[in-house]
Amino acid sequence: MTTATQAISAVFSIIWASSLKTEISGSVRRYSRMINSEKEDIVINSLPIDFDQLQSGVLNVNIHVPNPKYTTIIDGKTQTLQDLPNEARLNTLCNMFSGLFATPYYNDGVYIEMQQQLVLAGEDSKSTFINNRLNIRAKNL
């Protein structure tokens, strides 16, 4: 049997041992992002994992990327904005994560494979995040 916390720990270990960990400016965390972080962070969390004989579930791995600040003139006034994504960093981190899980991972009876990847605007409009979904399968004997 694999619990949600065990699945999260398995993915945490894979990322922690990879070059992706050192590529980001922030931290790799389980469950939630540090409050008010303005760095590149990776957060691993779980959607429901069932307890059937062949367990299945989905993990979310969100890579947060701050949007760069820039100045523009609006109504004759100089404004500092942060609403445009950092395309170069998003592309780099998308590729690194996809490469890390390009081949399905199997260890200790847990099978992990990439399901999908999408890019979403952060709630604060000052960041963008890459939502990676990983399928998890394990035997529940």
Residue 27 pLDDT greater than 80, yes or no: yes
pTM over 0.75: yes
| Among candidate residues 76, 80, 65, 75, the one with its CA nearest the CA of residue 124 | 65
4 vs 92, more confident? 92
Residue 22: count of CB within 10 angstroms of its CB: 6
Give all domains of the chain, ordered by start, each with its CATH number: 4-139 (3.30.2000.20)
3-state helix, strand, coil in the chain (%, to 5): 25, 45, 35
CA distance 127 to 19: 22
- In this prediction, residue 140 carries a pLDDT of 75
Q: Does 122 have pLDDT greater than 90?
A: no
Beta partners for residue 44, in sequence order: 30, 61
Residues 99-109: tens digit of each pLDDT: 999 999 988 88
Residue 104: what pLDDT? 92
Q: What is the pLDDT of residue 87?
A: 95
Residue 33: pLDDT above 60?
yes
